[in-house]
Amino acid sequence: MFAYYFKLGLRNLRRNPALTALMVLILAVGVAASVSTLAILHVMSGDPIPGKSERLFVPFVDNGQPEEGATYEEPEDMQLSYQDAMNLLRKHPAERATAMFGTGMPVEPPRKDIPAFQAYGLAPTRDFFAMFEVPFLHGQPWSAQDEARGANVVVLNRTVAEKLYGDANPVGQRLMMKGEPFTVVGVLGDWNPMPRYYKLIGSGPATGEEFMIPLATAVRKELTPYGSVNCSQTRDPGYASLLASECTWVQAWFETRSGADRAELQSFLDNYASEQRKLGRLKRNAPNRLFDVMEWMEERKVVGNDTRLSAWLAFGFLVLCLVNTVGLLLAKFSARAPEVGIRRALGASRREIFQQFLIETGVIGLAGGLLGLLLAFGALALIGMQSRSMAAMARMDWEMLGLTFVISICAALVAGLLPTWRACQVTPAMQLKSQ
């Protein structure tokens, strides 16, 4: 009977086409508004690196200056000083570890038709690429020897590489950066995770890191940290003083063999903090923290209250659309009361009438889902036009595609419950007398 009622539902779409089109449009607009905001929320709050998110940890030790009578449950800044970052990298028990900071350098293109430009990138250690599963289009990360001596080597992202060298493989080429030649050792593939979970403090280019150089090279060249530099003490402006100071401007990550190794890593962090306190540092005696990827995103409020509020408002709009749909369905089904009366007189049960009209409502929901999906794609395209970072988040995956139809059909069925129930209450004798 389902197939028969489904065919009847498709056929009845042509009855009163203006009313049917209005219902489909109202439902589609509500679905598009809710699904487009939900798609962005889904991308921003989803696991950015499945399979490893429970093994990647951000360490934190609070090295701020103590204040009389103050407690320090919440950290003032979630970065590390350079000396803490280097100490943790030298002694850690994890499988991999990296430290990084954002920076920038002027680039002098080898092509004369391209003027010099400022590029923004990242200065991590070599483990960064394996930890975050960074794909390479050409070449590979710099070697351990290059990292140890702070060599002038660079990894370019795909956009910058194509801008400078076209489709050619630039590995081995020399590129002038900040007046010195750098050897290109690799070109990144399509890698620009949004949100940028590996570096949530400090901004970066919307197209992703334009270049990466060894942390040791950036320090040797005294490159300025781009992003957040938090200094609670007055310090000498010299770069050597910055490295030796308590200023926090470096971010670090650990990768353990499994999530079960977290306790060992936490114990290492606590022991390190105890050793430093004996040396007169870390005087706040604040809790030492570890955050895995999802905890880190929650701590940094990647999904803010305004994003959640937008999703709730969109679903509120969908409810308003459903209220309008209920009224239109009542009008549509009321006009078919004579048909229901005749069917009841011929032996159809209320249950069969209920099934027929509810399936017809589901057909309207399916049509609304198709149109709503098109409108949702249009809405996401408009949102993506605002900026490249928004374009990376304003996308729809297969999960959201399926959810679109589920929301649409369920919304239509909910809206159709009252009109369908009213249609089942038709008394055959009274309808036949009125005819």
Residue 52 lies in a domain: no
Residue 28 lies in a domain: yes
Residue 139 lies in a domain: yes
Query: What does the alpha-carbon distance between residue 42 and residue 36 come to, in Å, rounded to a whole number?
Result: 10
DSSP summary character for residue 230: B
Domain count, the chain: 2
The tens digit of pLDDT for each residue in 271-282 reads 999 999 999 888
Residue 55 lies in a domain: no
Domain final residue pick, 287, 321, 344: 287
The tens digit of pLDDT for each residue in 124-149 reads 999 999 999 999 999 999 999 999 99
How high does pLDDT run on average in the chain? Answer: 81
- 88 and 208, same domain (yes or no): yes
- 81 and 171, same domain (yes or no): yes
The tokens describing 211, both together, are 């270049």
The tokens describing 395, both together, are 């996308």
| pTM > 0.75: yes or no | no
- 148 and 278, same domain (yes or no): yes
- 141 and 274, same domain (yes or no): yes
H or E, element range at 332: helix 305-334
Residue 392 lies in a domain: yes
Residue 69 lies in a domain: yes
- 195 and 336, same domain (yes or no): no
Question: How many residues would you count in the chain?
Answer: 435
- 276 and 392, same domain (yes or no): no
Angle ∠(247,62,205) on CA atoms, nearest 5: 55
Mean pLDDT value across residues 171-176: 94
Q: What residues does 120 pair with on adjacent strands?
A: 104
The tens digit of pLDDT for each residue in 63-111 reads 877 665 455 556 567 899 999 999 999 988 999 999 999 999 999 998 8
